[in-house]
C-alpha cells in the first residue's frame, strides 16, 4: 500500500491500483451515516472533503456543497477539481439553508464542524424546509446537548448517534428526522445522548469520564463564588455530574 496524499483531514492510498480516500474518524463518522443513493447538501463544507468522499465511494450521485464564505468555497472547488468531481457537485455561497430550494430534492443535510448554537440557528431559520422529512446528520463541535434539546422540542426524532475519537478528542454525531412529535418528556438523557446511552456506545464511557473530570473541575471553581449566577451554575453542574455518574454506573 502506498500513501501518496495526506493532510489533516484525509489521506489517499493506492490499494491494488485503486485509489482509496480515507477520512479522519470524525468526518468518517459523519459520512457513513449517509444512506446510499441520497442527494446530499453539505452546509459549511469548507474543503468539501465529505462531498468528495461521498462521490468517490458512489454513496451519493450528486452533492450540493455550501459555505457562507468565499474562501472555504474556493478550497472546496479546488478539492473537487483535484479529484475531477466538479461535474457532480454544485457549490453555493450563502448562509445556512437559505441557499437550498425545494427543487433541489435533497434527502440528507449534513452540518458538521460548526458550534452547536450556530447549528441550532441554521436549523431554526430553515425549519419549514426540514419538515419535509429530510435526514439531518449533525456533528456539533460544542453544546451537543443543546442541539439535541432543540431537535426534541421542535419535533425531530433522534434516530442514530455516534462518537468518534480523534487525538484524544471525542466528537458526537446526531442523526435526526422531523416527525412532528416532541419527545422531550421521555428523553431522560437528552443532554448525554439517549441513543448512545441506550446502545451503550463503546466510546461513551471514556467520553463521559473525560467530561466528568472537566465538570468536577468547573464545579470546584464555581464554588468559590457566592453570586446568584454562580449558584445557578453550581446547580446546573451538579445536575450534569449526577446524570453522568448515573449513566457511568450502567456502562
Ligand atoms: C470548521 S469548518 C467545518 C468544515 C467541515 N464541515 C468539517 O466538518 O470539517 C466550518 C465551515 O462552516 C462555514 N460556516 C459557518 N457558519 C456558516 C453558516 N451559517 N452557513 C454556511 N456555512 C457556514 C465556515 O465558513 C467554515 O468554512
Query: Domain tally for the chain?
Result: 2
Integer CA distances (angstroms), 184 to 117, 150, 190, 204, 244, in order: 19, 9, 8, 21, 18
Q: What is the pLDDT of residues 156-167, one digit of tens each?
A: 999 999 999 999
Q: What is the pLDDT of residues 27-39, one digit of tens each?
A: 999 999 999 999 9
The CATH number linked to 72 is 3.40.50.150
Residue 242 sits in the same domain as residue 176: no
Residue 216 sits in the same domain as residue 107: no
Centre of ligand 1 from the C-alpha of residue 75, in Å: 12
Residue 66 sits in the same domain as residue 175: yes
Whole-prediction pTM? 0.92
Is 124 touching ligand 1 by the criterion CB < 6 Å? no
Integer CA distances (angstroms), 89 to 21, 27, 35, 66, in order: 17, 18, 18, 10
Is 126 touching ligand 1 by the criterion CB < 6 Å? no
Nearest to 100 by CA among 134, 69, 76, 72: 134
| 169-178 vs 135-139, strand pairing mode | antiparallel
Residue 77 sits in the same domain as residue 153: yes
CB 223 within 8 A of CB 234: yes
Place of cell 435526526: 176
Residue 151 sits in the same domain as residue 27: yes
Residue 125 sits in the same domain as residue 228: no
Rounded Cα distance, 248 and 209, in Å:
8
To test the ligand 1 pocket, which listed residue (46, 77, 123) has its Cβ within 8 A of the most ligand atoms? 46
Give the distance, in angstroms, between the CA of residue 188 and the centroid of all CA atoms in the same chain.
21
Is 240 touching ligand 1 by the criterion CB < 6 Å? no
Which domain-ending residue is among 181, 196, 211? 196
Which residue has its alpha carbon closest to ligand 1 atom 3? 113
Count of residues in the chain? 251
Residue 125 sits in the same domain as residue 187: yes
Centre of ligand 1 from the C-alpha of residue 67, in Å: 6
Residue 192 sits in the same domain as residue 224: no
Q: What is the pLDDT of residues 53-86, one digit of tens each?
A: 999 999 998 999 999 999 999 999 999 998 889 9
Which residue has its alpha carbon closest to ligand 1 atom 13? 44
- pLDDT over 50 (residue 4): no
Nearest to 50 by CA among 15, 24, 82, 84: 24
Centre of ligand 1 from the C-alpha of residue 58, in Å: 24
Range of 108's domain? 2-196
What does pLDDT average to over the chain? 91
Residue 149 sits in the same domain as residue 77: yes
Which domain-ending residue is among 196, 213, 240? 196
Residue 78 sits in the same domain as residue 147: yes
Rounded Cα distance, 97 and 126, in Å:
6
**Over residues 243-249, mean pLDDT:** 95
Residue 173 sits in the same domain as residue 207: no
Residue 206 sits in the same domain as residue 117: no
- pLDDT over 80 (residue 176): yes
Rounded Cα distance, 238 and 198, in Å:
23
Amino acid at each position: 500500500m502506498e500513501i501518496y496524499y495526506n493532510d489533516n483531514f484525509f489521506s489517499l492510498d493506492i490499494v491494488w491500483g485503486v485509489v482509496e480516500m480515507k477520512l479522519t474518524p470524525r468526518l468518517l463518522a459523519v459520512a457513513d451515516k449517509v444512506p446510499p443513493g441520497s442527494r446530499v447538501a453539505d452546509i459549511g463544507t469548507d474543503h468539501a472533503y465529505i462531498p468528495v468522499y461521498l462521490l468517490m465511494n458512489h454513496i451519493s450521485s450528486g452533492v450540493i456543497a455550501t459555505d457562507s464564505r468565499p474562501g472555504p468555497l474556493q478550497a472546496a472547488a479546488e478539492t473537487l477539481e483535484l479529484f475531477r468531481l466538479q461535474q457532480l457537485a454544485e457549490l453555493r455561497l450563502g448562509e445556512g439553508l437559505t441557499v437550498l430550494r425545494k427543487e433541489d430534492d435533497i434527502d440528507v443535510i449534513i452540518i458538521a464542524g460548526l458550534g452547536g448554537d450556530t447549528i441550532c440557528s441554521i436549523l431554526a431559520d430553515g425549519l419549514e424546509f426540514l419538515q419535509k422529512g429530510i435526514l439531518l446528520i449533525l456533528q456539533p463541535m460544542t453544546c451537543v446537548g443543546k442541539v439535541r434539546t432543540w431537535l426534541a422540542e421542535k419535533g425531530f426524532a433522534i434516530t442514530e448517534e455516534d462518537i468518534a475519537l480523534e487525538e484524544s478528542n471525542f466528537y458526537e454525531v446526531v442523526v435526526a428526522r422531523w416527525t412532528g412529535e416532541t419527545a422531550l418528556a421521555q428523553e431522560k438523557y437528552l443532554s448525554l445522548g439517549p441513543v448512545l446511552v441506550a446502545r451503550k456506545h463503546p466510546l461513551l464511557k471514556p467520553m463521559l469520564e473525560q467530561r466528568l473530570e472537566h465538570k468536577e473541575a468547573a464545579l470546584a471553581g464555581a464554588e468559590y463564588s457566592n453570586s446568584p449566577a454562580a449558584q445557578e451554575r453550581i446547580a446546573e453542574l451538579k445536575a450534569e455530574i449526577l446524570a453522568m455518574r448515573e449513566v457511568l454506573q450502567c456502562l
